[in-house]
Structures are given as structure tokens and as C-alpha cells.
Chain A
Amino acid sequence: MTSIHWFRFSSPASFYPLAGKLAPWFGWAAALFALVGLAIGFFVAPTDYQQGESYRIIFIHVPAAWMAMFTYLVMAGWSAASLIWNTRLSAMMAQALAPTGAMFAFVSLWTGAFWGRPTWGTYWVWDARLTSTLILLFLYLGFIALRAAIDDPRRADKACALLGLVGAVNVPIIYFSVRWWNTLHQGASVSLTSSPKMAQTMLVAMLIMAFAAWFYTIAVALARVRHLILEREAHADWTHRLVEDAR
């Protein structure tokens, strides 16, 4: 019995068709989960007795915030892999994940502002979580900007991988320093942790939406990495054959 050669798929040429097969499945799963999650969230979940209907934005807000943080971790993981094994595909995966992570960080800030207006009476407070998500967004933007500033793709891979790792080490430090900063300044006047315990259906809808966000991220990352592969491997024979076959 032979074991599966996992590193077979670290070659862009063999990963390209695999990503092409997987991406639609994850895309459809994301759409399905999003539909079900939103249906439960909007029509089944009860109205919150304190926040009224406005709380329903958490079905987008919370999964987006989770995904923004988790995507950075995954990105750092691919960065580490690209530095350790010197594989091009790992760096491409990190590059493919960055825009989605930035998008989720932005969505969580934006929806949070819309939720904060009716609930806290303000679009923005310098709450620890808001601030650390904002800094996370800047970390994503720095990663993308560094990538765009370096012309040589292999050098950009390595520089971004190093930046991703330094950022990943710093993220928990930033998170806790910001939390401590806020609690030192003033008592937590607004905090998500002190919100009323949520109903079962709310939690279910939120988890389903979290899965939708996961599948969406995977689908988009795979689709994007296919484009990156084509762009970067444009000189290779197999991409030429691909174009020939497509004609």
C-alpha cells in the first residue's frame, strides 16, 4: 500500500486541475450554507428582547470577524510552509488568501459600525475588539502592498512570507495590549461579552454562517490561486498545452 504523496500537489501544475475541481464544490457549499444560515437568521431566530431586530447583523458580522482572524493564521501557516519547504504554491496560497482576509476584516468593521449605531448610539468606539480588528486590516493591507511593491515574484514570496510570520507573532501581542489599553483607560462601557446569552437558533444560524464564510474563503482562495498559477507559470509548457486544449 502506498501512502498518498501529499507533496505531489505542491506543484502548481498538479494543483491547478485539483483546485479547479474543488473550487465549484466549495462555492456551491458556501452558497447553500449562506442561504440556510440567512433563512434561519432572518425568519426563524427570535427577536432579541434588548436589541430588537438590529442584532440580526451578527449573522454576518461575527462569522466575518472570525474568518478575518482565522485567515491571517492560515496565511501565516502558508507563509511558514513557503519559507520551510521553499514551495512556490504555498506563497501563492498566502497571496490568494490575503485579499479575502482583508475583505472579511473590513466587512466585520463595517457591519459592526451599522450595528453599533442603533445599539451603542455610535458608529465607532475605541473598543478593544474594534481597534484590534482595525489593526488586523492594516496588517492585511501591508501584506498586499508589500507584495505589489516587489517586482520579482520569488523575492515578493519570501518577503511577504517573513512579514506574515512577524505579523502572526505580533497579532496576539497586539490583541492583548489593545485589550489591556482599553480596560486601563475606562471601564468597559460597551462589551460584547456582557451581551445576553443567545438563543439556540441564533447560535445555530451563526455557526452555519461561519461555515458559509469558511467555504467561501476556500472557494475564492482556490479560484484566485488558479489565476496566480496561470500568471506565474505563463512561461511553462503545461500552461501552453492548457491553452491549446482550451481552443
Chain B
Amino acid sequence: MSAHERRPQSPDHPDDGHPGGEPRAEALPALAAIAWACRRDLLLAMRSRAELALIVVFFVLVISLFPLGVSPDPTLLERIAPGIAWVAALLASLLSLPRLFALDHADGTLEQLVLAPAALPALVAGKVLAHWLTNGLPLVLLAPMAGVQFGMQPDAIAVLTLGLLLGTPTLSWLGAIGAALTLGTRAGSALLALLVLPLAVPVLIFGAGAAEAVSSGLGAQAHLSLLGAGLIVGWVFGPLVTAAAVRIAYE
């Protein structure tokens, strides 16, 4: 589906696109649109810092539950640490997904973004970038702490952090697609989990596998390369697919 297809004439914009009518507003260049949407969402996020902190607390809390639930044995914990960190990151990113579009959907902002004279994929990309900066990046920065908590080796901690840095944007994109598809539906977050988690399996495998490969003496390069490939695919196709999903919500 073309991301740039013209929307049907909306009654709110009778002059929009008519050649003989009033001059249309200049279309915003893609990079400016990304920067604008990103700045707006970052500003909104900064206005509700407490909510941001909740995600971080959730991540630390989930990680801290595992030693209590499994065993305080250091060798066991060191082995399962990458998996725990990744599952916790997956759950934390899932928790923050409804904030990505749902609030804008509820107050009508998202509809204005769809109608705005800027490429919707660029606007969506800006929003997802802001979402990652506020929800994904803190988890990446916290990962070393989790690694220390679980007694991981320094090089494994470095690879775990690098893997999260490469992998969490892909999670954000998968989540963005799911969040856009479930806009305004009844089932809410449980449905979102059912849609997103199976698709995130490869990221989980390669991310947790990277740190484990280092611990077991193998190189992590293959895993990290695949995570990087996922990152590129996410940033190339994610905006188009997510924009298409957002449009579907407004048809």
C-alpha cells in the first residue's frame, strides 16, 4: 500500500488539493516532520515524567523478582541473566505501547496528523523515535546495572547493552504496528501482547543469544549483525507499515 496515497476529500478541508482553489500549505519535508513529531512527543513525555519513571521501575522490579522466584544461586543467575533482562525489556516496552498512539487517538490529534500536509510515515517515525528515546533508551542504560546485579562478566554486560541498543528500536517498531492496528478496539493491551510478542521472538532470541554467546566463549558478532539487520528493516519498513495501519484506523 502506498504510504503517500491521497486521502479522500474530507469535509473539513474543502479546498485541500484543488488546483484552482486556495494555495495549499507547503508540505513539510520528511526530516522536518520527523523532528517536529519527535520534539512534540518528547515534550509531552517530559511533562509526565512520573509515567516514564514507572516503566523504568517496572523493568527493575521484574528483574528483581527472578532471583526471588528462581533461586539466589549466582551461577544459575549469571546464566539466565540475559534472558531475564530481555524478557523484562520486552514486557516493559509492551507496557508503554498504549501511550504511543492511544492518547493522540482519544483527543483527535492523531487524526490531525493523518490529515496534516506532511508524510504520515515521517510523522510516525518521529513519534516512534521519541517513544524509543523515552522508553527504550532508559532500559538500555539500565541493562549494565541488571548485569551487575546478576554477576555477569563485563564483556557479556557490554554485549547485552549493545544488543538492547540494537534490538529495542525493532521492538518499538513491532509494537508501533500492533498499537496502530489495535487503535480504538475493545480488547486493549491483552490483544496487543498477543499480536506483538510472537513477532518479537527473533529479537528476543538474537538479543539474549548475543550475551550468552559471549559468556560461553563464542563471538557475539553474528547475533549483533542480525539485530542490526532487524534494526535497518524496522526503520525502513516500519514507518510505511505503521502509517498504513494508522490510516486503516481512520477509514
Contacts and interface: CB of A to CB of B under 8 A. Distances in A.
Contacts of A159: 181, 245, 248-249
Interface in A134-150: 135, 138-139, 141-142, 145-146, 148-150
- Chain B interface mostly: helix
B61 interface: no
B201 A174 contact: yes
Interface in B171-212: 177, 181-182, 185-187, 191, 194-195, 197-199, 201-202, 205-206, 209
Contacts of A166: 177, 199, 241
B185 to A, nearest CB: 4
Interface of A: 83, 135, 138-139, 141-142, 145-146, 148-151, 154-155, 158-159, 162-163, 166-167, 170, 173-174, 177-178, 180-181, 184
Given A83-B1, A170-B202, A145 B194 contact: yes
B205 A180 contact: yes
B244 interface: yes
Contacts of A135: 198, 201
Interface of B: 1, 177, 181-182, 185-187, 191, 194-195, 197-199, 201-202, 205-206, 209, 213, 226, 241, 244-245, 248-249, 251
Contacts of B195: 142, 145-146, 163
A173 B187 CA distance: 27
A177 B202 contact: yes
Of B1, B182, B195, B249, most A-chain CB atoms within 10 Å: B195
Contacts of B185: 146, 149-150
B167 to A, nearest CB: 12
B194 A142 contact: yes
B251 A162 contact: no
B181 A138 contact: no
B169 to A, nearest CB: 16
B197 A162 contact: no
Contacts of B226: 177
Given A170-B202, A184-B213, A141 B194 contact: yes
A162 B241 contact: yes
